[in-house]
């Protein structure tokens, strides 16, 4: 991959960086409150490997990818200034920008890009699932990716954080990341997992250079703590605010509160082989019993955010225009359950063959709105006759419960913009093996896999739309997942900061576009 001498040099550089980070008092310049933009968010990080926590490093603008996406999800140039799709989407040729430097000063070239992509292919991430035959250097500034079959979402894959480009010396001989030398407008300055990192502006950045010298990222699981950080000015930008805190924060003269829709849906993941959930009628009834408009308005305080479908209208290929909420949903739900043998006992709980309709729902507190939505669902399903027990735990319990079969119901916030083209997430969530960690569980439909296979290879836009609509309708009709509300990111920004804008795909904080008010 690179010479032993080069590895030793990079490793020594890493030790030196760690020394200067740990003993920053000897540095010529250090972060202070006045020269540092402080960001508070809910999620931890425990590795500098892009395949694991690259979403943090793209947002903090340390890491960049070959392609990017605009606010509508369209592919745009990034480290690759242009690209060609050839041979019916089986061959992609990318022309790289010139004079791009890594944070250690080395020039980016095609060999460095191919090195990063080939390492990404071997790790957990979206590129590993792509049907890649080869990734080759054509010349100093040109890379070509050849596929075994058409794969229309490759462009979106190359915009995903796990395919971020690092300087070859960032890796050891086993492909492990030992130094985070990216190409972004900020470089890593301090790394203190799992809660804090600090970045420093990179003066040799190829694009728009940053004006704010430093930026810090601090994780805080409790929404109440993040609200206090916003109120006190301890943090300049606070993401993931509790809806209950919004009225107070909006009244503060030092803050501006932003509400931005994102392609993320609050949804219920169901175990479709559970004895109470295996019938389509049962899943449909649970969906019908949800008062979505009440949750959107009264719980989330976002009127109009209710979701009958997994993907929002902004993702038009996947959105069914003929779906609407029924006015007598609870009555319809009761009829459906009666048709499969459920009857209410004297206590108002549904019973069948001597068993009460009882379920356990797990959710997590990292996103504070989930716990209050879970409580609302508990009350609404109680009116139907279903007893719901809520278990608030770590988000990792959801994939764990999926794999060991113990999960019954989970409430989560699923990001359908995880890959710019939502097909990537749909392929993961509704695959033939029974679904994905954050998608369907033990749900099988004879038509689904054939439709997904066709979508992967369809380059005609009208045919793609038609197939996507069929997939969306199957999910809507059989309800292996039940949508509740579309997501709105609530963010508080201190008025000492100007130039804030929100990325609906949550790929970047746009640090290099912000300034401090003088």
Q: Which long-range contacts (CB under 8 A, 24 or more apart) does 422-425 make?
A: 422/263, 422/311, 422/315, 422/318, 423/152, 423/153, 423/455, 423/456, 423/468, 424/126, 424/153, 424/156, 424/157
pLDDT digit string, tens, across residues 218-227: 997 688 899 9
Residue 367 has a pLDDT of 83
Contacts of 300 (CB under 8 A, 6+ apart): 243, 369, 373, 485, 488
Residue 463 has a pLDDT of 94
Which class in CATH covers the domain with range 4-232+496-516? alpha beta
pLDDT digit string, tens, across residues 314-360: 888 999 999 886 667 999 999 999 999 999 999 999 999 999 999 99
pLDDT digit string, tens, across residues 139-156: 999 999 999 999 989 999
Residue 21 has pLDDT above 70, yes or no: no
Residue 470 has pLDDT above 60, yes or no: yes
The residue-averaged pLDDT of 232-259 equals: 93
Residue 327 has a pLDDT of 65
CATH 3.10.105.10, the chain: domain bounds: 261-488
Residue 144 has a pLDDT of 98
**pTM of the full predicted structure?**
0.80
Residue 326 has a pLDDT of 65
CB-CB contact of 436 with 429 (8 Å): yes
Residue 16 has a pLDDT of 41
CATH 3.40.190.10, the chain: domain bounds: 4-232+496-516
At 153, list the tokens: 């979402």
Q: How confident is the model at residue 291 (pLDDT cuts 50, 70, 90)?
A: very high
Residue 283 has pLDDT above 90, yes or no: yes
Residue 32 has a pLDDT of 95
Closest by Cα among 401, 399, 473, 466 to 429? 399
Task: Point out the least confidently predicted range of 84-88, 186-190, 440-444, 456-460.
Answer: 456-460
| Mean pLDDT, the chain, whole residue set | 91
- What residues does 483 pair with on adjacent strands? 267
Q: How confident is the model at residue 15 (pLDDT cuts 50, 70, 90)?
A: very low
pLDDT digit string, tens, across residues 424-442: 899 889 987 778 899 999 9
pLDDT digit string, tens, across residues 26-62: 344 799 999 999 999 988 899 999 999 999 999 999 9
- Arch. (CATH architecture) of 261-488: Roll (3.10)
Rounded to whole angstroms, how far apart are CA atoms 326 and 308? 10
CB-CB contact of 473 with 451 (8 Å): no
User: Around 351, how many Cα atoms within 13 Å sit in the side-chain half-sphere?
Assistant: 9
CB-CB contact of 495 with 255 (8 Å): yes
Rounded to whole angstroms, how far apart are CA atoms 70 and 82? 15
pLDDT digit string, tens, across residues 92-107: 999 999 999 999 999 9
| Torsion angles phi and psi, residue 418, rounded to 5 | -55, -40
Closest by Cα among 38, 159, 54, 62 to 493? 38
| Torsion angles phi and psi, residue 6, rounded to 5 | -65, -40
Chain mean position to CA 63: 16
Residue 365 has a pLDDT of 86
* Cα distances (Å, whole numbers) of residue 393 to 58, 213, 362: 28, 38, 7
CA quadruple 246, 251, 253, 256: dihedral positive or negative? positive
């Amino acid at each position: 991959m690179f010479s032993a001498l080069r590895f030793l040099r990079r490793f020594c550089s890493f030790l030196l960086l760690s020394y200067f980070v740990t003993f920053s008092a000897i540095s010529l310049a250090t972060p202070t409150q006045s020269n540092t933009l402080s960001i508070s968010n809910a999620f931890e990080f425990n590795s500098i490997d892009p395949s694991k926590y690259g979403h943090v490093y793209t947002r903090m603008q340390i890491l960049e990818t070959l392609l990017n996406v605009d606010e509508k999800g369209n592919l745009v140039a990034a480290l690759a200034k242009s690209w060609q799709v050839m041979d019916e989407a089986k061959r992609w040729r990318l022309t790289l920008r010139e004079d791009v430097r890594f944070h250690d000063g080395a020039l980016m070239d095609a060999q460095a890009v191919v090195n990063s992509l080939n390492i990404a292919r071997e790790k957990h991430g979206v590129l590993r699932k792509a049907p890649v035959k080869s990734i080759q250097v054509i010349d100093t500034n040109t890379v070509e990716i050849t596929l075994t079959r058409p794969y229309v979402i490759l462009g979106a894959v190359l915009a995903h954080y796990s395919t971020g480009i690092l300087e070859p010396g960032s890796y050891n001989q086993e492909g492990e990341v030992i130094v985070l030398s990216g190409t972004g407008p900020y470089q890593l300055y301090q790394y203190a997992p799992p809660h804090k990192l600090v970045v420093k502006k990179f003066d040799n950045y190829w694009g728009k250079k940053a004006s704010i010298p430093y930026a810090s990222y601090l994780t805080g699981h409790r929404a109440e703590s993040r609200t206090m950080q916003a109120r006190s000015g301890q943090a300049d930008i606070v993401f993931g605010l509790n809806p209950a805190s919004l009225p107070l924060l909006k009244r503060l003269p030092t803050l501006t509160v932003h509400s931005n829709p994102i392609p993320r849906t609050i949804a219920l993941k169901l175990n479709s082989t559970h004895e109470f959930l295996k019938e389509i009628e049962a899943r449909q009834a649970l969906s019908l019993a949800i008062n979505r408009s009440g949750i959107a308005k009264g719980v989330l305080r976002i009127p109009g955010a209710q979701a009958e479908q997994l993907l929002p209208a902004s993702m038009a290929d996947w959105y069914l225009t003929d779906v609407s909420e029924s006015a007598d949903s609870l009555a319809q739900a009761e009829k459906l359950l009666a048709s499969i043998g459920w009857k209410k006992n004297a206590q108002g709980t549904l019973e069948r063959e001597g068993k009460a309709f009882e379920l356990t729902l797990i959710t997590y507190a990292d996103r504070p709105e989930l716990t209050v939505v879970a409580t609302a669902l508990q009350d609404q399903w109680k009116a139907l006759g279903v007893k719901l027990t809520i278990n608030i735990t770590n988000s990792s319990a959801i994939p764990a419960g999926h794999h060991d079969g113990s999960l019954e119901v989970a409430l989560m916030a699923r990001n359908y913009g995880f890959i710019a083209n939502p097909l990537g997430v749909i392929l993961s969530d509704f695959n033939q093996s029974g679904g994905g960690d954050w998608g369907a569980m033990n749900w099988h439909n004879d038509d689904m896999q054939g439709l997904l296979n066709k979508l992967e290879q369809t380059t005609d836009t009208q045919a793609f739309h038609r197939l996507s609509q069929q997939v969306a309708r199957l999910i809507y009709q059989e309800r292996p997942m039940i949508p509740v509300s579309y997501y709105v990111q609530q963010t508080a920004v201190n008025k000492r900061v100007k130039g804030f804008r929100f990325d609906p795909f949550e790929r970047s904080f746009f640090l290099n576009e912000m300034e401090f008010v003088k």
